[in-house]
A and B are shown apart, each in its own frame.
Chain A
């Protein structure tokens, strides 16, 4: 097997330090194709310690005398230290980890080898098909249809095979609209808001260019959206770039919708940070959180200086704007920035969480991520290639999905009963989006996943998470379905640093774990007593 060429040494004696809260582990260290193993001696607990090499973000080695130290900084923000006997062994192990953790080939990655007990391949992949969401929409309205114009990914390589479009627009018109949008991402339905009969759409920027080109089919498509909603309906185009940036995009062939070309649609600019600046904000924040020596009286201004919470605020406010447009103004909303694969998805998915009680259930949230992030073509492989510790120059990395999870966490903090999933679910999604034994977050689009046969050759994260034994970690025991929209406060004092993520490995988790156990205990006690109750309870007055 080709991995063997990259593994320089079989094994070495080592001691592993896992931070202040955990006891050190001593044993035999071993590098395999996908894992770093530490096997404690026979007298110790028989448990193997296992680290997926893919989750190593940066590696640092130091040798002194006849021993060495390797510091591994992981994508889940953990910092591990390995003290290894022997200089040669240290260098060999470091080189092996370096080579194996940066392998780019998808089909040799661990998900293609991971075969857990109790799960069958291909099981949960059709758990959240777009067809099912379309059926939900079709039940309520006759203005939309499921188009398979992208069956072979020729219209748009980053869209799934089937998308939901206005009934009155045919596949040829879609093809022309696709040619007028960057990356072929023509406007498609993202969410149908039944109470107001309005819709949320997403796309990429129109390719107007310096000559301010137009595309009749694209204009008709948006016209058909308004007509399908209700006579005289209005629309808002939420551009996630500043007016200035949108204008500048024309020079490189992009642009934004001209007012005269799209009557009934009004453009709003809500600049959101993305790409390099967002990645830098993330790196600075993680640096600040890991810097335990730093004089603590400067902590708050340093946190301020990272701007992470202002990105959270901007994302939530823009999502609120889109949601308000639908629920309060009865308007249709189209969201796009430039490529329509990053901040666009952030806004559309958050707006749905605010408005749609179904998306706040465990199944609904998984469906939302599958539909609005994975199938909608968020380039996970590029964005999550490295986390905050990597020394390599960031190319396409950006923590857009993490920003989404953080916003969801803020929602959960402000509405502690309204989400069926808890912080554990959000942490799991963060961990798996950066490195995972499951195939769900592999590749950049549906097209690539088809080429790599991800669906047939790897396990889905959803089947992993939906096993009963995982539920206690992931669910919110306090959940009580809330049929209303949840409007978050975006005032600065309402937003908090997500300590559970950013300080996960530095803070003793014990008191909060005790509290969590207690909550579960109360919740299950209640279920049990309800379950064991004879059926006559209905006739008795409730307390």
Chain B
């Protein structure tokens, strides 16, 4: 019979973590509100938007931080704090909001530290069947373009397939036409909507559960189109990253409402461009910023505590994003500070309701429910146990832009996630390579420490006796052992 989406995910849930109590219909609170776990680190402190924008060098001459949405009056699905062009007044923003679906106006996500081109995100313009125009919106996009003097065209990436964008006109949406936006060029990225993704993942489920489709495995895998969708999402993100990194132009990304495909594209492009997001904390900030604060509808997409499995709002968009990250980590084994387990744990707790991190649809709802006061953050669990989630091969490279190969030849099904509960797959737990490397690293650290202690002990003449005992922390660098 028909499997609803929540049912679909159930078999990927570790049983121990699956303690979701019914919410809404049975009037019981979600488990995260009852969970009294204590951790050394408070994960809610990880993301501070002001600090994150400051890290990016914002505000600057061209971009300002606005609190116009402090009470979520401009846009109820956006965060309180937004970065907008310096030359756009708050009144301008209000007028632009009327022309963007759900008032999700174009705001800055990321700025290139050198060439100062930006990634801007928003929702579709409300063009409609009659082809409406809005001078304020047109002017606003031109203001964004002008934040970079040398650029004469702004690039708009519409994540949808062309036909979908046209079809959206019937329901009042649409896309930026050439006539209205002279100084912009629009490209469609052909990424399908949440319903297509849901059905695709359902097909993946069908070929791996309860039994793995043995004959013609690869052809069956192909017929799910899952990897093809992954390819399109990655290809789109690569284009965004390439535009910005080459300084060709600033980029505006939107889909329909700007909370599914848009979040995938901006966050993946930022991951390719900015090595900071490839660290454990950086990635947490990326998720917190581009997904949680900008209103990816986690509650609707996952259906936390909702009995209605078959709801059309369900879709594995965030899972698809994590899959893309995994594909990148496969292609660049040294570029990410985190390991596969980190990604799997994030996904497990996307569904588990043990933490408040992925509850509710947007920041305003979370604030109303006092989520940060009443629940524990997933990042508390992870950050108080960081060693478990570290990639031993990680090599920090500050300015490297990663362009993964988004070709079907180089994409793989994430077997360790999608088929991990299949009893016929022998799992080597924990990953033996990482296990061994953790051992080697720990050994090395230990030896270095001992060596330094011995050198210290053997060379009293070299160091001034009055200073050396008083500052041992300066002499022996902080040694981290992994056990």
Contact = CB atoms under 8 A, between A and B. Distances in A.
Interface string B225-241: 10110010000000000
B221 A300 contact: yes
Contact of A522 (B219, B405, B407, B440): B440
B190 to A, nearest CB: 12
B437 interface: yes
Nearest to B437: A522
B441 A514 contact: no
| Chain B CB within 10 Å, residue with most, of A496, A503, A529, A532 | A529
B408 A297 contact: yes
B395 A518 contact: yes
Given A478-B436, A532-B451, 12 more contacts: A298-B222, A301-B222, A417-B432, A491-B212, A491-B424, A492-B213, A494-B415, A507-B409, A512-B333, A515-B333, A515-B393, A534-B454
A13 B332 CA distance: 40
Nearest to B483: A543
Contacts of A523: 440
**For the side of the interface on B, what is the size category?**
35 or more
Interface stretch (B181-189, B359-367, B442-450): B442-450
Interface in B48-83: none
Contacts of A148: none
A404 to B, nearest CB: 22
A530 B483 CA distance: 19
Nearest to B332: A511
B52 to A, nearest CB: 28
A496 B426 contact: no
B409 A296 contact: yes
Contacts of B448: 529
A529 B218 CA distance: 46
A487 interface: yes
**For the side of the interface on A, what is the size category?**
35 or more
Interface in A121-145: none
A392 interface: no
16 contacts: A299-B222, A301-B222, A478-B436, A491-B422, A507-B409, A514-B333, A522-B440, A526-B444, A526-B447, A529-B444, A530-B447, A532-B447, A533-B447, A537-B450, A543-B443, A543-B481
A260 interface: no
A416 interface: yes
Given A301-B218, A493-B413, A534-B454, A522 B212 contact: no
**Chain B at the A interface: mostly helix, strand, loop or mixed?**
helix
B331 interface: yes
A489 interface: yes
A297 B481 contact: no
Given A299-B408, A304-B217, A489 B440 contact: no
Contact of A300 (B218, B426, B433, B443): B218
Nearest to A530: B447
Contacts of B332: 511
Interface of B: 208, 212-214, 216-219, 221-222, 225, 227-228, 231, 331-335, 392-393, 395, 405, 407-410, 412-413, 415, 419, 422, 424-426, 428, 432-433, 436-437, 440-444, 446-448, 450-451, 454, 481, 483
B426 A489 contact: yes
A508 interface: yes
Contact of A499 (B408, B410, B433): B410
Contacts of A511: 331-335
B218 A304 contact: yes
A450 interface: no
Nearest to A295: B408
Interface in A395-441: 414-417
B334 A416 contact: no
B82 to A, nearest CB: 36
Contacts of B446: 543
A543 B58 CA distance: 45
| Chain A CB within 10 Å, residue with most, of B409, B424, B451 | B409
A309 B216 CA distance: 10
A514 B335 CA distance: 10
A303 B222 CA distance: 10
A518 B447 contact: no
A543 B483 CA distance: 8
| Chain B CB within 10 Å, residue with most, of A493, A496, A515 | A493
Interface in A469-508: 478, 480, 487, 489, 491-494, 496, 499, 503, 507-508
Interface string A519-541: 10011011001101110010000
Q: Which 6 A-B pairs have the closest CB atoms?
A: A492-B217, A529-B447, A300-B222, A515-B333, A304-B218, A299-B408
Contact of B334 (A499, A518, A530): A518
| Chain A CB within 10 Å, residue with most, of B216, B219, B447, B450 | B447
B408 A300 contact: yes
Interface string A152-177: 00000000000000000000000000
B436 A480 contact: yes
B454 A304 contact: no
Contacts of B450: 533, 537
